[in-house]
Amino acid sequence: MSAPESEPAVRPSPPSVVHDGALELLRDGRLEVAGRLVEATNMTLYCSIALGERTAACVYKPVRGERPLWDFPDGTLAAREVAAFEVSEATGWGIVPPTVYRDGPFGPGMCQLWIDTEREIDLMRLVRSRNPVVRRMAVFDAVVNNADRKGGHLLPMPSGHVYGVDHGVCFSAEDKLRTVLWQWRGKPLAREAVTMLAKLEREIEDGALGRRLRELLTLAEVEATWSRVRRLLDTGVHPYPSEDWPAIPWPPI
């Protein structure tokens, strides 16, 4: 196992949107469809949501709008998005915006807070950077086995925080990591990542996170998630690309 790598002392803190009532708003608010994001592969609806005086924009992906995939069971992508949020919360890094599973105008699906990004940031430069916040996302993707981390799935904020979205093809029991964030391959994990992974291992094995994931995923997928965390701790390094499948999604952005 490689020695953990030191890291810069200053890094942006995750936003506190979850603690500002976003989950309650997403779960219980009145959902109204305003339009459709036509670039998305699956049905992705831009909505407004309101609960009392609180309002926000959100993304709603109904299960009935999911395109069947040969390597993921039908009707499971929304639950995988919620599972990614649950893991994100357990890391303490706030990578995934607040996300819930709820009923909506087109049936049950996932509902996620809409994030307005910093438009002046060069996304390609961010993808290729050594930004420690992006590095967190690379570790997160290795944990959830993200099969489709495109550059366009990174949402940079004015504060320096970076969100990640579109996690419907995560958590396969088979290794499927495909990402544009390979710049740390083989490098020792940062100390904060090692600390986080040790906590995550305990939470999946015998904690609230493991119980929640078993509600959203199959037992084999939850066990595989624990195994990926254990493997990262055992090796102490960021994973290498596989030689058995394309390591970078297409298109990359």
User: DSSP for 72-97?
Assistant: B-TT-HHHHHHHHHHHHHHHTS--SP
pLDDT (0 to 100) of residue 45: 97
Q: Which residue has the higher pLDDT, 218 or 251?
A: 218
pLDDT(36) > 80: yes
Would the pLDDT of 17 be above 70? Answer: no
In whole angstroms, what is the distance from residue 65 CA to residue 120 CA?
32
* pLDDT of 64 higher than 80: yes
Q: What is the pLDDT of residue 9?
A: 43
Q: What angle do CA 143, 239, 71 make, to 5 degrees?
A: 60
124-128, 187-191, 224-228: least confident range? 124-128
Q: How far apart are CA 66 and CA 47, in angstroms?
A: 17
Name the residue ranges covered by the structural domains of the chain. 17-235
If pLDDT is split at 50, 70 and 90, which confidence band does 152 have? Answer: very high
Strand partners, 61: 110
Q: Does residue 81 contact residue 167 with C-beta atoms inside 8 Å?
A: yes
For 192, the 3-state DSSP assignment is helix
Q: Which residues have C-beta within 8 Å of that of residue 35, sequence separation ≥ 6? A: 45, 46
Of 43 and 20, which is predicted with more confidence?
Answer: 43
